[in-house]
Structure 1
Amino acid sequence: MTPSTPETSTEGADGIDSGAGPRAVHRALELLTLIVDSGPQPLSDLARSSGLPTSTTLRSLRALEHWGYIARTDDGGYVAGHRFARSRFDAEPSSAEHLFERSADVLQRLTELSGESSYLAVRGPGRTCIYLREVQSDQPIRHVGFSGWAGRTAPMDGSAVGAVFDGRTPSSGFLVLEALSAPDATVVAAPVFDPAGDIVASISIVGPSFRMGSEHVAELGPLVANASIDLTAALR
């Protein structure tokens, strides 16, 4: 009787199954996961969290950046990139691409006019939304907790974006709520409609509450509403 051949483990020294793909892929996915789950991070933090040498971490980050899955912030941190954000948009690829491309100029103009950071969010799985694009304000004081949100998922319940998707925008065309994840920030949001008249996205601006008094919000609200109208028109 011939003895059976024992199974040979394909697990490498670092615990990664070599049969599941090159180690470089696993490293890149680990770094992408760290960025998506924890928000903007510098190279040093990513290397420390992943346990990888800084040089190896940098090579993986450069590959992810090249393909648009991550991007660099002005202060050198890494955030989820445009390709990753679009991949999470639960819609036809052509619709996601169209919305993403058309939103660039609209958000840039909204940030310039309002002086606050602007965001585009779409529906995610269940009661969540996914931030598809952001344009950060150059104000010396802005709500840094909302930097690097492109590609990130957030709960809709209790949020301004959730209220927009639930159809609770008043006749003014915009709504104002305290930021769900930051009580010291205020959100002004408005709906974007597709050609069928369904709410397909939310445009919003976020700023520190001390700067978002009622008089200033009365000026900012129409800017957000007009931006949503412009993007709605661009999708037709």
Structure 2
Amino acid sequence: MDSLRDWLISEIDSVLNKPNDPPPFIIWCDPDREWRDILLILSAGGAFELWAEEEHELKLRERFFNSSRKPGVIWIPKNQDDLSYSKVFACDAEKIISFSIPEALVEYGLQISSEDINQFRVLLKSHVKEWLDRPKSGWKELNLVKIKETLIDDERFLNVLCSPHREIQTFMGKEQFSVFKRRAVEDFGLPEPGESELEKWRINALACILVTEAAELYPDNPPGRKRQSDPAG
């Protein structure tokens, strides 16, 4: 397999499987907090030990020095240059990883232009989780439209639209809701939904769809124009 999951695990294992004494570890710097969820997925089932708690660097340093050394990954939501208390043990790390998700995808072997990245940068974290196990050849389809459709496909969009009195949380998380809003406006030409006024948005969105359909069916007498009756004969 040549999926992104395989590649990331291979990158991690190439460090952690070294027969060093003391055992090697990786510092994963992530100032944008885009890797934490992905690392949690990768480490599931004991693939490798992961420290990914949101804790102060001082507590992290104390934990490091009070724990027996094991191969693993220590996630820190900071730039490498901004490390403070953790600098003490970061110097002993076998490797410090600090690439962003777009940079990692390029290292993985994908050809992505900076223009494309700017279009869908904010959606990549959610998308990568969906495509972790897709073969590299499948990533050739990576573009803004495909990303939005992967995260919120047409069926899910219609389910939200046509399910009155159901809160958005029953359909998706907060990250996906941002994609849902973009699809509503950019792909369907509907008003932007608000999480707190979803029922009102459903009514307005359905009204927009009905008006648009009526305008297409009756272009000579579209909705909004006062209907003209034939003059009395």
Q: Which has the larger radius of gyration?
A: 2
Greater fraction strand: 1
Instruction: Give TM-score scaled by structure 1 length.
Output: 0.29
Instruction: Give TM-score scaled by structure 2 length.
Output: 0.29
Q: Which of the pair has the greater relative contact order for Cα pairs under 8 Å at 6+ separation?
A: 2
